[in-house]
């Protein structure tokens, strides 16, 4: 059957700001400033102010942001970096690419994120850092996680690729995800909370030295033209993408509000359905719902997904397999801390429903009524 709704509707979102986007792209073409330049500098300034850090260094994508952030920690090869196995692969991939060893920790089955107790239990004398992922738009419990990190001198990198604009109450103050740990990394992949029209990413930090080194590292390790003090990479945000992001930054709060509203409608309409568990919102947390991910009980997830598809409703499984069970990662250095029961269970239960900024109440009503019909 023909799809009656998009999983992520970028067409309608873009249509509303098309003239501004076109003007910005035209400026780039006219100026021929395609690499670096004013649009990139302006975006970095805007983004740092929004997230609440001293520095923003734009890079080629979110995966590079994580890799570069890890390289800035100057860890001994093989040092342990704690991370979830229930996440997009880029997190573990960056750790191994940086010559470090991922330590997989279980996540909570209600927040989908690493929690402080499991994090602390996984720490050994070899543990030097952790990449805490804020999955599906919700920040992990950063207040207690930062206390554990301080106690054990573990550096925290936040992966807020899915949670641009999310916030968490840290010592009585709402702080944006990406500004709480030592370094924050995000992605501007089109479907993220703030997406460009291609690949893009950024690193956020208050640390002047890390910022200076990351900026050089992302540009071939170059500070002065054709002078190299370190071996770097080429990872830059295109000026055209920065221009698009400058336009979209003006609307990002309204985008997040639209996601929160859609989530609240879903929650209301699905509250009586017995066969599923709707996502919980942790206290002291501003959830941004990059995804609205339900858990389907009694092994019915794949059946429900097929039923929705027959009715023109797309859904996605984020993520079908834990990273620690994938061939490439089984064969690479790693450690599993405790057990990963929730991770393995969630991979069999989760189902992400259509979620974007253009989701009206009527279509959510249609989607949820089909879900109710399935369970009748």
Ligand X SMILES: *Cc1c(COP(=O)(O)O)cnc(C)c1O
Residues lying near ligand X in the complex (CB under 6 A): 61-63, 87-88, 90-91, 133, 159, 161-162, 187, 189, 199, 201
**Which helix H or strand E contains 307, and what residues bound it?**
helix 301-310
CB of 138 to ligand X, least distance (A): 12
Q: Which is nearer to ligand X, 108 or 187 (CB)?
A: 187
Q: Which is nearer to ligand X, 120 or 199 (CB)?
A: 199
Q: Which is nearer to ligand X, 155 or 158 (CB)?
A: 158
Closest CA to 346 of 139, 130, 111: 111
Torsional sign, CA 62, 79, 133, 171: negative
Q: Token digits for 259?
A: 């996601």
DSSP secondary structure code for residue 107 in this structure:
-
Q: Which is nearer to ligand X, 318 or 374 (CB)?
A: 318
Q: Report which residue's Cβ sits closest to ligand X.
A: 62
CB of 87 to ligand X, least distance (A): 5
Per the document, the length of the chain is 376
d(CA 9, CA 303): 25
Q: Which is nearer to ligand X, 214 or 363 (CB)?
A: 214
CB of 373 to ligand X, least distance (A): 32
CB of 159 to ligand X, least distance (A): 5
DSSP codes of every residue in 156-196 = EEEE-TT-TT-EEEETTEEEETTSSSSEEEEE--TTSSS--
CB of 88 to ligand X, least distance (A): 4
d(CA 207, CA 181): 11
Closest CA to 229 of 211, 213, 209, 207: 213
Q: Which is nearer to ligand X, 69 or 269 (CB)?
A: 69
CB of 156 to ligand X, least distance (A): 15
Q: Token digits for 75?
A: 């860890």
CB of 92 to ligand X, least distance (A): 10
Q: Which is nearer to ligand X, 112 or 374 (CB)?
A: 112
Closest CA to 132 of 113, 117, 148: 113
Q: Which is nearer to ligand X, 256 or 363 (CB)?
A: 256
CA 260 from centre of chain: 16
**Helix, strand, or coil (residue 243):** helix
d(CA 245, CA 326): 34
Q: Mutual orientation of helices 62-71 and 90-97 as an angle, nearest 10°?
A: 40
Q: Which is nearer to ligand X, 190 or 314 (CB)?
A: 190
CB of 354 to ligand X, least distance (A): 18
Phi, psi dihedrals of residue 130, rounded to the nearest 5°: -145, 140
CB of 158 to ligand X, least distance (A): 10
d(CA 11, CA 87): 27
Q: Which is nearer to ligand X, 58 or 87 (CB)?
A: 87
β-sheet bridge partners, residue 222: 228
CB of 52 to ligand X, least distance (A): 20
Edge-to-edge order in the sheet of strand 292-296: 276-277, 292-296, 350-353
């Amino acid at each position: 059957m023909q799809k009656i709704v998009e999983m992520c509707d970028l067409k309608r979102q873009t249509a509303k700001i098309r003239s501004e986007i076109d003007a910005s792209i035209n400026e780039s073409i006219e100026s021929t400033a395609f690499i670096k330049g004013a649009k990139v500098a302006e975006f970095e300034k805007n983004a740092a102010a929004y997230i609440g850090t001293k520095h923003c260094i734009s890079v080629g994508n979110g995966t590079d942001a994580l890799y570069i952030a890890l390289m800035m920690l100057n860890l001994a090869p093989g040092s342990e970096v704690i991370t979830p196995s229930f996440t997009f692969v880029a997190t573990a991939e960056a750790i191994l690419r940086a010559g470090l060893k991922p330590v997989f920790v279980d996540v909570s089955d209600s927040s989908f994120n690493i929690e402080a107790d499991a994090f602390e239990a996984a720490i050994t004398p070899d543990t030097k850092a952790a990449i805490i992922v804020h999955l599906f738009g919700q920040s992990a419990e950063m207040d207690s996680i930062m206390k554990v990190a301080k106690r054990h001198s573990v550096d925290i990198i936040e992966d807020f690729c899915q949670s641009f604009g999310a916030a968490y109450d840290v010592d009585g103050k709402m702080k944006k995800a990406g500004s709480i740990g030592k370094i924050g990394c995000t992605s501007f992949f089109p479907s993220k909370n703030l997406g460009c029209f291609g690949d893009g990413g950024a690193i956020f930090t208050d640390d002047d030295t890390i910022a200076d080194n990351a900026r050089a590292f992302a540009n071939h390790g170059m500070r002065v033209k054709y002078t190299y003090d370190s071996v770097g990479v080429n990872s830059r945000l295109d000026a055209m993408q920065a221009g698009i992001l400058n336009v979209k930054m003006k609307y990002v709060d309204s985008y997040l509000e639209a996601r929160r509203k859609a989530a609240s409608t879903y929650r209301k309409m699905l509250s009586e359905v017995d066969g599923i568990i709707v996502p919980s919102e942790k206290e002291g947390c501003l959830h941004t719902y990059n995804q609205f991910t339900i858990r389907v009980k009694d092994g019915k997830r794949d059946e429900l997904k097929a039923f929705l598809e027959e009715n023109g409703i797309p859904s996605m499984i984020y993520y079908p397999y834990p990273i620690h069970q994938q061939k490439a990662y089984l064969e690479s250095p790693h450690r599993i801390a405790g057990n990963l029961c929730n991770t393995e269970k969630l991979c069999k239960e989760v189902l992400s429903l259509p979620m974007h900024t253009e989701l009206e109440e009527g279509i959510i009503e249609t989607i949820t009524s089909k879900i109710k019909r399935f369970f009748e």
